[in-house]
Structure formats: C-alpha cells, structure tokens
Amino acid sequence: MQSSGAASDTTRYHNPSGAGIQQRGFLEHVRIAWKMLRKNTRDTVPNGSIPVHELDSTAILRAPDNSIWRFGHSTMLLKLNGQLLLTDPVFSDYASPFQFLGPKRFHVPPAAISELPQIDAVLISHNHYDHLDKRSVQQLRSKTDRFIVPSGLKQQLVQWGIPATAITELQWYEETPFNGVRIVATPARHYSGRSLWDRNRSLWASYCMISPHARVFFSGDSGYFDGFREIGERYGPFDLTLIEAGGYNQMWHDVHMAPAETLQAHLDLRGKFLMPVHNSTFDLSEHVWWEPMEQLLKLAELRGVRISFPQIGEMQDISEPSPGHAWWNSERVHRRHSAAGTTQPSRIQNA
C-alpha cells in the first residue's frame, strides 16, 4: 500500500508483503471474460427457487441483540449492541455495470431497501460490482448517515451523491468506535476496481466488528494468506466468522478461497462458528452453485468445525447460530424448468 493518507489520482494499493497476486493484462482479462460467457451454465445456477424468508423493518427492530440475517452473496445485516450494520449491500438484479447483462441474482432479497429500518452503518469491503452496487448505495442514502469504507473509496461514493461527512475511510488496522461497537478494517488478499483503468486505486479490506457481547469477522473477498492468523491473534477469538466460499476458480486462486482454505482461514481466526458467504446468489465461476456448501459440510465434519447454513433472510443468533440443513438439496430448489420458462424466486412469509 503506497499511501497512508487520502488517495491521490496516482495512488495504487498493494497486498500485504508476501501475499502478492498474479497480474493479468488486458488480453488475459478478455480471454477470461470470453470463457465465462461461453461456459456451460448447467448446474452453475439453480433450476428452482431458492427459499427466502421475507423481512420487514418491524421484524428486524423486534429481533434481539446479536441477531444476523443473510441477504445474499456478501450482504449481511447484523444487530450488535443495538446497532444495525449492513455489509456490502447489493440489492440490484445484476452484479454488473448494466441492469440487463452479467451475473443475475438467483433470488430476491428478503427485504427491499425501502422496507429496511434506519441502518446505523454500512460497511463496504472493496470496489467490485458484486460488493459495491451504485444503485443500492444511492438508495441507502436515505437510510443511513454512516458509510465505512477502505482508504481511497470515499471519492467514488461522493461522486454518487453521498455526503463526504457521512463517509469514514480506514486503512488496515485502523478502527472507528461506533456507539459501543469497535469496527476495525483488517487486511485481505485481493484487488479493487470497476474497470481496467481504476485497478487498485482504492484499498480492499476485511472487518472485525467487536461489541461488549460478541465478536464477528467479515472477510469481504480474499485469497488465503497468513494474515488471517495475525488477525485472529490480535482480535480473536471470534464468535462468528463470515468468510467467502464461492466464486473460486483455479484462474484466480490467489484472490478467492477454495472451501478447504475457507475452513483453514476460520481456524486461523480462532472462530467458534463459521457462516460461509459469497455463494448462492450470483453465478461468478464454473463450479456448480451448491458445491461450496457441500464441500464445507464434509470438511467441517472432518475437522470438528461448527458451521451454519441459514436460508436467505432467516434470523440467526450470532453467539449460537443453528447448523441449518442442506436446503440446497430440496426438491423445490432442484425442480426442472417449467415449459413456460424458468421458475421465479419466491419469499417465505415469516410467522
């Protein structure tokens, strides 16, 4: 990382020492994009409806402290010390610069942004379309007055209409106290950019969220590296780790983790429960969409790791999340396409 202050037009950020990534040129990016466009999508997307538990502001506000909900991909809503924290909000139909092309959502969010209560802080891990969505950020402007982002990302949000006074930038290992919750930006092994021309102009980060009663780690995107051990030593043990498990591929093994690496990162972090994220919402790689869950289920059993697979929108206790069940194997999720077209996602009405 070159800058310890505000990013300039020439600032480029770097991964931790010894955790560099492969640099790909323009032609390599074109080749990968072409390969992804031409791939066989059989089983990389569900052919049925992923179950989604419907939420609204009343249900969220009535939930006890230390609650957590999956909204899809890496969008998580946490209630810590009475504060509502939202990570990497992506509510759009496509993780793409276009709303008609690119990776399309498998399921609806459990609540629209308009149905959310006021959010105390939004945490953004890095500047990629599946983690930083312009439309969602602009819609959240009326729902929050605090965005916490890695160094160099403030300028992007200001361009989208977010007041500069509402944005807190953090370098790695910088923290901000927030109504009884410590939010610490910690290292990750990744990169940033929305095009070939702004690569690494802003930092990427993981986050530790520490309240008087719970400790949570959120990975953002990261390849496996020894920084997880250092984070665990500094801020662990964690009651819950939210670690990416999905979208991996041999072509980008240095910036995403295979399931075995996700599990090892959890152990390095000294986590009590693991909740895998970054799966079941977008088709971002070549593996079958349920593979991360199946592999982690087997690996966790072998290693004695407690793991939780909640359905989208299903409330969980951060300190003691339920194991869940293999919901991705249900007949509803795997039923064949109807003659009239693909089945539409649906929500489960909460009691």
Confidence of residue 330 (pLDDT cuts 50, 70, 90): confident
Compute φ and ψ for 170, nearest 5 degrees.
-130, 140
Confidence of residue 338 (pLDDT cuts 50, 70, 90): very low
Question: What is d(CA 264, CA 246) in angstroms, rounded to the nearest whole number?
Answer: 15
Total domains in the chain come to: 1
Question: What is d(CA 22, CA 36) in angstroms, rounded to the nearest whole number?
Answer: 19
| Predicted confidence (pLDDT) per residue in 165-175, tens digit | 999 999 999 99
Q: Is 173 exposed, middle or buried (0-12, 13-18, 19+ CB in 10 A)?
A: middle
Domain, as residue range, for 116: 52-334
- Edge-first strand listing for the sheet containing 215-218: 175-178, 181-186, 206-210, 215-218, 238-244, 271-277, 306-307
For residue 166, give the DSSP letter.
G
Residue 142's CATH number: 3.60.15.10
User: Does residue 277 belong to any structural domain of this protein?
Assistant: yes
| Predicted confidence (pLDDT) per residue in 186-196, tens digit | 999 999 999 87
User: Does residue 26 belong to any structural domain of this protein?
Assistant: no
User: Does residue 347 belong to any structural domain of this protein?
Assistant: no
Residue 234: count of CB within 10 angstroms of its CB: 11
User: Does residue 38 belong to any structural domain of this protein?
Assistant: no
User: Does residue 229 belong to any structural domain of this protein?
Assistant: yes
User: Does residue 8 belong to any structural domain of this protein?
Assistant: no
Q: Decide if pLDDT at 349 tops 50.
A: no
User: Does residue 72 belong to any structural domain of this protein?
Assistant: yes
- Edge-first strand listing for the sheet containing 167-170: 167-170, 147-150, 121-123, 83-87, 75-80, 67-72, 316-317
User: Does residue 324 belong to any structural domain of this protein?
Assistant: yes
